Amino acid sequence: MIELASVGRTYGSASAPVTALRDVNLVIQRGEFVAIVGPSGSGKSTLLNLIGCLDQPSSGRLLFLGEDTSTLNDTKLSRIRNRSIGFVFQMFNLVPELTVYENIELPLVYAGVTRQRRALTTKVLERVGMAHRADHPASLLSGGEQQRVAIARALVNDPALILADEPTGSIDPVSAEQVMELLGELHDQARTIVLVTHNMSVAAVAQRVVRIEAGTINEIGHSPVAETRGPAAQVTAAAISATVE
């Protein structure tokens, strides 16, 4: 589904470049659950933003469903983000002044969906258990609630790929558990999931763990837990409770 070929990403000016990623080669298959782990500042978010077409590589090639993203114009890239990708960020990234409902329907608005909009929005709203808060301003929710709203927003256009950047990083353990459960369910429904975390026990839910350090991928391993999918959710929940403080 995604293919990165010697991808590099450099920030800053030519005189003072900051290399966040260097010569990254990575293939993500359709239906995979991949965890990207690494210390803070190692380039995890940078990599995820590239995969999510929020950003473009400085060098190398990134193929999304076989298409080189550097050849796609803004409209096509926006369309990919809108239809094929659902983003979940560490800080939720809702529009604070909009209501829960309005935040969730945003992708449908930009997709030009009108007739089905209410039904689709309500469906994901119920799925994340936030229907009773539909008309609340997003800013008034707790972190865990905001993250569930963000997941609903990521799901509403039924994307094939879910990208989550430290989704449990800013919420309480119980909410974190719910978020990981939801991600597990989404994977079970044949979605591709890429999860960024610096927490190994959270990464344990994934089928594959990609380790990144100082901008380069130096280890690719298979999670032992992922071999026994199904009860994974419970294992994860226990692991999270133990490690997230």
Partner 1 sequence: MKFRDAILVAYRGLTRHWVRATLNVLGIVAGVASVIMLVSVAHAVGGTAKAAVAGLGANLVVVYPAGASTSGVQLGIGTPSSLTSSDVTALSNIANVPDEVQNAVVPSAGVRQNVSALDHSWQTDIIGTTAGFGIERGYTISEGTAFGPTAVSAAQLTVILGQTVARQIFPDVDPIGQNVLINNESFKVAGVYAARGYSGVYNQDDLVVVPITTLWQWVLPTGSAQIQQILVQASSTSTTTNVATEVTNTLLRQHNITDPALADFRVVTQQDLVASAERLGTVMQWMLGAVAIIALLTGGIGIMSLMLATVGERAYEIGVRRAVGASREDILGQFLIEALLLAVVGGIAGIALGFGGATFMGDVLTDIPAPVVTGLAVLIAGGVALVIGVGAGLYPAVRASLLQPVEAVRRQ
Residues of this chain, 50-69, that bind partner 1 according to CB under 8 A = 52-55
Binding of ligand ADP by 91 (CB under 6 A): no
At closest approach, how far in Å is the CB of 21 from partner 1? 14
Which residues ranging from 151 to 210 are in contact with ligand ADP (CB under 6 A)? none
The 5-44 contact track toward ligand ADP, x by CB under 6 A, reads ------xx-----x-x-----------------x-xxxxx
Q: Nearest distance from residue 40's CB to Mg ion, in Å?
A: 7
Q: Are 186 and 155 in contact (CB under 8 A)?
A: yes
Which residue number, 57 or 107, has a Cβ lying nearer to ligand ADP? 57
Indicate which single residue of 13, 15, 71, 114 sits in contact with partner 1 (rule: CB under 8 A): 114
121 binds ligand ADP (CB under 6 A): no
Q: What is the closest distance, in whole angstroms, from the C-beta atom of residue 144 to ligand ADP in the complex?
A: 22
